[in-house]
Structure 1
């Protein structure tokens, strides 16, 4: 993510969480409108009034959930992260998917690149501030990967390895989309190779004999 000012901290950007189904649906419309407007005009041209008009809601409904457009993009980034994890979990659960961590790495990269290409607003904000949300993603990976991880999920070395893997993949995939709007296939393939090779130093048992 570049060029979008971010709020301090890793909160969701919401002033209040919706309680009723109607409020939840309205919030989703607001975030969908935000995503579409980001794709069309970028962050500088985004405004809460434009979001309200696109979502078909009163401006007060936007301010009920968000203090400003920065909070809107924070919430969109957090929704992107949740959707990414849901999509990855669904892929991992498909019948016939290999139950190993290397397959999981490939699926994680594939789902990220798919969202980068197709999810509204994702190309600009993806998961938010790398220094914050990359750590959030790393913290959530052990639960996502489950038994695919051959080491104790509480091992501090695993946590460090996942943070480094996420940070490295983020930088490499940003490069892939900087050189090709659709994502350079060669860079994407090499990203998978790079992450698998590094994680093998932590996740694979040492050679014997």
Structure 2
């Protein structure tokens, strides 16, 4: 059902999605949909959580590779995975991490991009020895918001992502983080 939901969200958007359409696409009885989900919002929340888990799994796999030698390689990997998921994961382009449905889907006390920033902070601290400070977390929240907006712009301009906008987004985020992280939060290398 979640795969059918992802396809439909890309085709008709969140507003056009109905449980009836979902049941038809998934080739299940409408009662089966309601057996697992009380409404379309719950279905989309489940899809978004699955997407978030997939993103974090992909990041963990990328971060486990030895080719990440500096913290900005980790940032680039995070952006690259986000772009790849925009291009390849059904429903991701429309839903991202739930902002269409609920800005606090991933955590009640933080917005979705804040949760992503927190995950990136953990990786930068654990993998690259960057000092875990409130400033680091704030800086990453700003960077995630900016990257999210610019990546959305790239995919609005060109269906597969405007490469020029994507390159500028990465350069902007990297430069911003380089100034913020290198001057205020890194430990001695």
TM-score grouping bracket, smaller chain normalisation: 0.7 to 0.9
| TM-score computed with the length of structure 2 as normaliser | 0.83
Cα drift, residue 51 of structure 1: 1.6
- Which structure 1 residue ranges, 4+ long, deviate > 6 Å from structure 2? none
Pair 198,181 (structure 1): closer, same or farther in 2 beyond 3 Å: same
Contact in 2 for aligned 1:150/1:203 (Cα 8 Å): no
Q: Which structure shows the bigger proportion of residues in helix conformation? A: 2
Aligned residue pairs total 175
Higher RCO, Cα 8 Å, sep 6+ = 1
- Partner residue in 1 for 2:156: 178
- Quick one: which of 59, 62, 66 aligns to 1:88? 59
Distance 1:156 1:64 in 2: 43
The answer for unaligned runs of 5 or more in structure 2 is 104-110, 185-189
| TM-score computed with the length of structure 1 as normaliser | 0.76
Pair 64,177 (structure 1): closer, same or farther in 2 beyond 3 Å: same
- Partner residue in 2 for 1:66: 37
- Quick one: which of 99, 114, 121 aligns to 2:69? 99
Cα RMSD of the aligned pairs, angstroms, is: 1.9
The answer for unaligned runs of 5 or more in structure 1 is 1-29
Higher mean C-alpha displacement, 41-50 vs 161-170: 41-50
Cα drift, residue 80 of structure 1: 1.3
